[in-house]
Chain A
Amino acid sequence: MNVLHAVIDLETLVYVGAIGLVAIGGLGLVLSNHLFRMLLALGMAESGANLLLILTGYRGDATAPIIGYGPVGAPMVDPLPQVLVLTAIVIGVGVQAMAVSMLVRVYRAYGTLDIRELRKRMELEVSAAAGIPVPTSEEAPAGERPLPPVPAYRRGHRHVGPGES
C-alpha cells in the first residue's frame, strides 16, 4: 500500500479511522479495569463499526438518496448502509442505556466499579450462595490475628458485610 498516497486519500483516511476506532475501543475494553471506561471504550468501538458500515455505501461525487435533492439523473449513494447504521446506532443506544442502569445499581451495591474487585466479590457471593467453603489463602497467617488488619487505601471502598444482597 502506497502509504503517502493513502494518507492523502480521504476515503482511505476515514476507513483507517473507522478501523482504528474499533481497535482502540477493543483495546480499551480489554485493558481497562473500570467498568465505566469499558463502557466508553465499547461506545467507541460501536462508533467505529457504524462508521465502517456507512462507508460501504459511499460513492464518489454522488448526492444524498433523496429524490429531488440533487440534480436529476445524478448518481446517489447507496441508501441501504444508511438504514443499517440507523438500526445499529439505535441498538447501541439501547445496550448502553441498559449498561448504565446496571452500573448505577452495581455501584450502589458494591461502592466500586473496579472490575477485578467486583469479580472477586461476585465469586465469593456465588460460592457463598451455593454453600461452597471459600478457600483461604495459603499465605494467610494461621490462627487469630492479634489486631484487626489495616485496610489498604482504596478510593470509594465500602466495607460490605456478608449479608449483602
Chain B
Amino acid sequence: MNHLVLPVVLPLLAAFLMQPLARVSRLAARVLGPVVLALCALIILRLWLNYGGAPFVVAIGGFAPPLGIVLYADHLALIFALAVPLFTLLFWPGLGDRSSDPGHGARRDALVLLLAAAGTGLALSGDLFNIYVFYELAAVASFGLASLSGTSRALVATLRYLLLSAFGSVLSLVGIAILYMETGTLNLADLARVAPHTLEGPLGLAAFALMVIGFGVKAELFPLNAWVPEVYATAPARVSALLAGLVSKLAALVVLRLLVLVFHQPEASQLLLALGVLTVLTGELAAWRARDFPRMIAFSSIGQLGIVFIAFSIDGDIGLLAGIAVALHHLVAKSALFGLSVRWNGSLEALAGAARTAPLAAGLYVLLALSLIGVPPLPGFWAKILVLVGLVQGGSALELLALIAILLVTAIEASYLFRVAVRLYQRGKSPPPGHAPWDLGVAMALGAVLLAATLGISPVADSLRSVARQAGDAGLYVDTVFPKTVARKD
C-alpha cells in the first residue's frame, strides 16, 4: 500500500529531470511525461482493484500521525487520484506540438507533470498544510500553463489570476494560523477529534470562512472568481479543460473534507450555501451575456461549481451524494466541452453551420448541453434532481432561496446552450473547420461515458451512494487514521 506515494512522487521526478533530459534527447523528453502518467494511472488502478473497499492510510516516512503526514485513500480519494493522471493524459497539452524549441516543450511538459502531481496530492493528502502546499503547487503550475500561448492578453489574464490566487492563499494561511493556534495540530483526523471542543465558536467560523475563500479561488467560488473567463479564454483549450474540469473539482474536494471532518457547525454550511448561491447567479447570468464560446462555457462552469457547493452545504448523506454526482458529471461534461473548444474558440456567430463540417462534434455538443441543463434520462438530470430534493428536505429559508436560484439558472442555461445548438445547425457562410482527431476522439469518449452512465444509472447511483456515505463518515476517517487497537496516550 505504501506505494500510493508514487503517483505523487514520480511525476515530480520526471518534471525535475525533464529539462536536462531534453538537452540530451528530445524524443525521450517528449515521451517521458505520458509514460510516467500512464504508469501512475496503472499503479492507482491496481491499488483500486486490490485494496478491498475499506479506506486505508499511508504514513509517509513511517512517522505515525499526527506527527507525520498521512495519505488517506477512500473511494472518493481514489476516484480523483485515478482521474488526475487519466485526464492529464487525455488533455496532454504537448500532443501535436510541432514547435522547434525543445526548451519550451520541456518546460511545458514539466509544468503539466507538476500539475498532475499536485492534483494527486490534493486528492490523497490527509494533512491540512500538506493540502495547502499541493494547492499552491497546482496554482503555480497553472499560472505557467495559463500563460503558455505567450500572447500579451494571456499574460494580463494570468497576472490577474495570480494576484487573486495569491491573495486567496494569504487568507487561507491566516485561517490555518487561527486553526493551529486553537487546536495545535494540522492532521485532518486529529482536527476532527479536537474540533468539537475548540472550533465551535466564532474563531472556528472565521477560520473556515478564510479557508473557504482561499481554497475557493481555484474552485471558482464567489468572491474571488473574476479571473475565470479571461484565463480560460486565453489559455490553450486543453489547459482550460484541465483547470476547469479537474483542478476545480480537487479544490472543491478540499472544501468538502474540511466541512465533513472539521467544521460541523451549521453556520459553516450556511456560509457555503450563501457563497454557492452567489456563485451560481453571477456565473450563469454572465454566461448568458457571453458572446464567444470559450468564455460562455467558462462562466457556465462557475455556475455548475456553485451548484456543487450548494449541494455540499446540505446536511446529511444526500448533500454529499448530490455534490459528488454534480462534480463528477461536470468533470466529464465540461472537459469534453473544452475539448471541443480547441477548434471552436471564436465567437458564437462564427459557429453557424458547424454541424456540416463537424457533425459528430455538433451532436456531441447537443448531448452535453442536454446533460448540463439536466434533461432526463441523462446523468446531469439525476445529479440536479438530487440537489433539488436535498434542498427541499432541508427546508430552511436560505435553502429554498437556493432552490429558486437553481431553477432560475437552469432556465437561463437552457436558453444560452440552446442558442448555440440552434446556431450550429443553421446554414452558415463560413463554418469553422473540423476538429483534430485526438481532441474529437477524447470528447466523444467522454460523451460515451455519459451515455454509459445514462444506461447504467442504477449501478452508478448505488456506487456513488456508497462513495458518499464513506466520504461523509468522519468517524470512519478518524478510526482509520488512529486505529483504536493501538493504545495511544492522548
Contact = CB atoms under 8 A, between A and B. Distances in A.
A104 to B, nearest CB: 10
Contacts of B133: 87, 91
The 5 closest A-B pairs by CB, nearest first: A109-B152, A130-B292, A125-B153, A49-B173, A56-B181
Given A87-B133, A98-B140, A131-B349, A49 B292 contact: no
A99 B156 contact: no
Contacts of A131: 292, 346-347, 349-350
A42 B163 contact: yes
Contact of B180 (A56, A109, A125, A164): A56
Given A91-B169, A105-B152, 6 more contacts: A48-B170, A80-B186, A122-B230, A125-B151, A129-B346, A130-B350
Contacts of B42: none
Given A49-B170, A102-B159, A110 B152 contact: yes
Contacts of B180: 53, 56, 80-81, 84
Contact of A126 (B147, B162, B167, B233): B233
Q: Is the interface of B mostly helix, strand, loop or mixed?
A: helix
Interface of B: 129, 133, 136, 139-140, 143-144, 147, 151-153, 155-160, 162-163, 166-167, 169-170, 173-174, 176-177, 180-181, 186, 230, 233-234, 291-295, 345-347, 349-350
Contacts of B158: 102
Interface of A: 22, 25-26, 29, 35, 38-39, 42, 45-46, 48-50, 52-53, 55-56, 80-81, 84, 87-88, 91-92, 94-95, 98-99, 102-103, 105-106, 109-110, 115, 118-119, 121-123, 125-127, 129-132, 164-165
A124 B140 CA distance: 27
B167 A52 contact: no
Contacts of B163: 29, 38-39, 42, 99
A126 B153 contact: yes
A156 B298 CA distance: 34
Contact of B170 (A22, A35, A126): A22
A120 to B, nearest CB: 10
Contacts of A105: 152, 155
A29 B167 contact: yes
Nearest to A96: B166
A32 B156 CA distance: 16
12 contacts: A49-B170, A53-B173, A88-B173, A91-B133, A91-B140, A91-B169, A106-B152, A115-B160, A125-B151, A126-B153, A126-B230, A130-B346
B357 to A, nearest CB: 16
A109 B136 CA distance: 28
A35 B347 contact: no
A158 to B, nearest CB: 12
A41 B18 CA distance: 35
Contacts of A87: 129, 133
